[in-house]
Structure 1
Amino acid sequence: MSKKLLYLIGIGITILIGTYFYWLLCCKACEEEATNNQVTKEIKELTTPKQKPATYNAFVVNDVDGKKIINTSDNFNFEASGLQFIKPVTAVLDTEISNLKEYLSVNADKTIAIEGFYTSSETNVSAFPNLGLARANAVKNYFVSKGIPSAIMNTSGTLNDNLVADSLQVFHGPLAFTLLQKKDNSDAINQLTQELKDNPLILNFKTGQANINLTNEQREYFAKVARYLDKVPEGKINVTGHTDSQGDADLNLKLGLDRANFAKNYLIKNATIPADKIAVFSKGEAEPIADNSTSEGQAKNRRTVISIK
């Protein structure tokens, strides 16, 4: 066998051995890595919950006998944790609201219930006990602006964790509408009116505050006030600011008015109460309810009183 042939055979054997070790050390590792990646992918697919599709509720109104009065895919939409619906609403929705108004004017024995929904993952930034009630009241106010009397509307709020927002964190139509037979509730309204007159709400806060931290009882109070304003068309809210006796009396009169206006703006924004339903006043330091010679008494005198008239 010639040296040249032996040389070629040696080269071939070297190539074969190199190829074997390349496959053993590199390709096999690549195969193992690919297998591991596939296993990891499958585990993630099994353990990662799939994103639920967004909920799209239509604007549907059924009469008491089940007859469908309104049915359109357009509806009021709310950002997550939002109590005011996204504006403007569509022309189609406005048309259907006009149709609803006409139907209610012809059928004067009917009332409409507006139920707002919210999820447990949302933050209630409203002055109401829950975000659903705030949303229902926002829509009710819009209906009033379109000519539907507030006296024939009732609002409520319900937790509904089946609602799913879209990718922009918008809830589409978190509401339900139902027509009901009108009932005489004059006794209940009279009782509510007397209760609010006998128990005005007192808020203690400083003018520089950016928000008011309400208790559950205070939120319930605002829900009752909203119901009162719905059922008593001529009803209004008085917001009166008071101060302690520190400083100039004229300046305190202005400070009391500033506090009253702060509370008014809060009610407009967080309780969706129309501005023309709120009257502001200031008593300054003129009507203390505690001893101004102590810091505790001064704190009590720095107050805003919310009452109905």
Structure 2
Amino acid sequence: MKNFIIAFLVFLIWSFFGLWLYSWLNPVKQTDKLSDITPIETNEEVPLVSMDTLDTSLIDTLNLTENIQNTFEEEPLSKGLRATNQDGDVIFLFTKGITIFKDTSTVVIPPEILDFKYKINTYLLEHPKEEVQIIGLYAASEKIKNPNLGIRRGNKIRDILESVGIPREKLAIKSMIKDFNYDNNGAFPYGISFTFKPLDTVRLNSLKFRLPEDKTIYPKLVNNDIFVNDVLKELLEEVKNVLSSNPNVRVEIVGHTDNIGNANDNYMLALKYSRQVRWYLINKGGLAKDKVIALSEGEAKSIANNNTEEGQFLNRRIEVKYRAN
């Protein structure tokens, strides 16, 4: 009997210790989990699709046969300041480039290449149905900002081009994340490039409504659920303001994942993320359901190296896009 009591007491002590350890390792408040407050409407459910029954268009979307990592690394970094047209022809090329600096939006333009702004202006005057895309680089190792540093650097160049009379509607800003190293002074000499493209009518329509630019956010993810944080609260206020001022606008919430696991599961996981954010905006903002759309890109559009933890984190993201109906 004595041995039984001792064994029972030992069992109780270890049980309490196990419960304490579990609660210490899982401090997240369940009341903050979006899945607890964001039901999925029955008529919006997307059935799970087996890999054997995927149609061609879905296979293309999921990039099942494409190695994202190779695509990411095969694109070389431009040396110098380069501008190309939509066919890849070089319009102009300077041997020196525009320098960017780690973790800042600062750009430095050498005096030898200041004529780039006049060359761009001349080209656009000769090609009135085209726009110029300002491509700003940023590295996966840099601090996360919203908008990202590539966009912020592009904004600096856009201001310079506007100063020589180029209309803002012909200046599109794109960001590109790349694997490159800053030097010992935190500088990289080829941080900006240009591409001439046909005028983007969707973007021009968005400009008429003065809509915010597309943005990428990183919600708090715990065990494949999204939790409310300051990023989502700020997004809620922005979306409410935009939709109240522009009744003909809708918001697209696009989920993305890394490439861990199979493409079909990642497609559904990204859709789960976007739906949770959608329902948070609708429930907390009192928004019409048809004004907020949930979409998924799964693992198909990675922006960073999936072979690193930092790259995987950057790929697990939500894109917010404002579109005119």
Q: TM tier, shorter chain? A: 0.3 to 0.5
TM-score, normalization by structure 2 = 0.40
TM-score, normalization by structure 1 = 0.42
